[in-house]
Amino acid sequence: MKRYLFILRKPAHSGAYLQEMLDIMLITAAFDQSVSILWLDDAVFQLKNHQQPEISGMKDTAAMLQSLSLYDVTELYIETESLQQRGLNTDNLCLPVQTLPRQQIGEFMRGFDVVFAG
């Protein structure tokens, strides 16, 4: 088993990006690998509460992200500064994530076998 860290950096509805990243993350978890996820930059908007994408006929990706827990993917991290710079805090998010300050991200990434740049 390898320890995977998936790093997400784009907002939801960047084409099929998030659906396709979610597919990889879930398949990796289904192969009994250890999966952690880190949200950086505009990717933090993926987790924003109260999205209504169905108005524009788009997939509710925030609801799809809820399926991570069904695959025992519970190691969820978000960069503190990325949230702050966008006027958000963890109360605005639809998943229970742990915050990590930017200064600690490099050290954090060293703890994984595979860093998957998404």
And the tokens for 27?
Answer: 């398949």
State how far the Cα of 84 lies from the Cα of 78, in Å rounded to an integer: 11
Residues 6+ apart with CB under 8 A from 87: none
Residue 36 touches another protein, criterion: CB under 8 A: no
Closer residue to another protein in complex, CB, 7/44: 7
Site for another protein in 53-112 (CB under 8 A): none
Instruction: Please give the size of the binding site for another protein, defined by CB under 8 A.
Output: 13
Q: Which of 20, 54, 60, 72 binds another protein (CB under 8 A)?
A: 20
Query: Smallest gap, in angstroms, from Cβ of residue 3 to another protein?
Result: 11
Closer residue to another protein in complex, CB, 46/93: 46
Residue linked to tokens 């109360």: 91
Cα dihedral sign, 90-92-97-100: negative
Smallest Cα–Cα separation from 6: which of 48, 33, 101?
33
Query: Smallest gap, in angstroms, from Cβ of residue 101 to another protein?
Result: 25
Closer residue to another protein in complex, CB, 45/116: 116
Question: Cα torsion at 44, 49, 52, 57 (round to 10°)?
Answer: 40
Q: Could you list the residues that contact another protein (CB under 8 A)?
A: 2, 16-17, 20, 23-24, 27-28, 31, 33, 114, 116-117
